[in-house]
Amino acid sequence: MENLKELLMRRRSTRKYTDQVLTQDRLNMIMEAALVAPTSKNSRAWQFVVVDNKEMLAALATCKKFGAVALETATAAIVVAANTEQSEAWIEDTSIAAAFMQLQAEDLGIGSCWVQIRERMYDDNTTAGQYVKQLLSMPENIEVECIIALGYKNEQRKPYDAEKMMWEKVHKNKWEEK
Ligand SMILES: Cc1cc2nc3c(=O)[nH]c(=O)nc-3n(C[C@H](O)[C@H](O)[C@H](O)COP(=O)(O)O)c2cc1C
């Protein structure tokens, strides 16, 4: 494991990937990061679908009109979902698991991108969540939060710059207008 600060600075959304596939071992490591993520009341209501089938990835890439470009070249994707009856904090829980997976991926030199599904539309009548659920035969009581696109990077993004951090967003002891 490298320095966590460096890892946080270096992680950027990757939307273009090479053809190199992720081994099962790498996918398992990424899933382990999700499975140890904290959850409200330790409910662990999340569910994940690991997709590495090319046709299925291509079908996922059409889940919404805009913002799914990363899925077009991704060699794997994790559909991040939850049983909403098991936790009122399922959005937070799934989001934390997704972020953990993105950090683990980066640590392995694998690029990732969050593709938002909740509150997004496939077409005028179908939500992106309904489309994904139908495609993957997921049950009704499961809601999809996002898909994490994964693959080896085929674009270089600049790491975050410590000089450009938005410290004006940070208030100390009480709110101060800045
Ligand atoms: C809740 C959430 C939803 C996002 N939805 C999408 C999306 O649908 N498509 C996409 O390409 N990127 C999506 N992103 C990635 C953001 O665009 C990206 O994190 C942001 O621009 C900052 O860039 P960085 O990840 O390189 O630091 C999403 C990120 C978050 C946290």
pTM for this predicted structure: 0.98
Q: Which residues contact 76 (CB under 8 A, 6 or more apart)?
A: 21, 22, 27, 50, 51, 52, 57, 150, 151
115 lines ligand 1 (CB under 6 A): yes
Supply the mean pLDDT for the chain. Answer: 97
Instruction: Provide the pLDDT for residue 178.
Output: 83
Q: Can you list the alpha helix ranges (DSSP code H) found in 39-164?
A: 54-60, 70-73, 90-107, 128-135
Average pLDDT on 10-23 reads 98
8 A C-beta contact, residue 148 and residue 77: yes
Q: How many residues does the chain have?
A: 178
| Nearest ligand 1 atom, CA 95 | 1
In tens, the pLDDT along 84-122 reads 999 999 999 999 999 999 999 999 999 999 999 999 999
Instruction: Provide the pLDDT for residue 2.
Output: 60
Q: Which domains does the chain have, with CATH numbers?
A: 15-152 (3.40.109.10)
Average pLDDT on 43-51 reads 98
For residue 105, which of 79, 82, 77 has the smallest C-alpha distance? 77
For residue 138, which of 75, 71, 83, 68 has the smallest C-alpha distance? 83
In tens, the pLDDT along 123-155 reads 999 999 999 999 999 999 999 999 999 999 999
Instruction: Provide the pLDDT for residue 165.
Output: 97
Q: How far apart are CA 27 and CA 110, in angstroms?
A: 10
By most ligand atoms within 8 Å of CB, the mutation choice from 9, 10, 113, 156 for ligand 1 is 113
Residue 1 has pLDDT above 60, yes or no: no
8 A C-beta contact, residue 70 and residue 133: no
8 A C-beta contact, residue 55 and residue 24: no
- Grade residue 166 by pLDDT with cuts at 50, 70 and 90: very high
Distance 115 CA to ligand 1 centre (A): 7
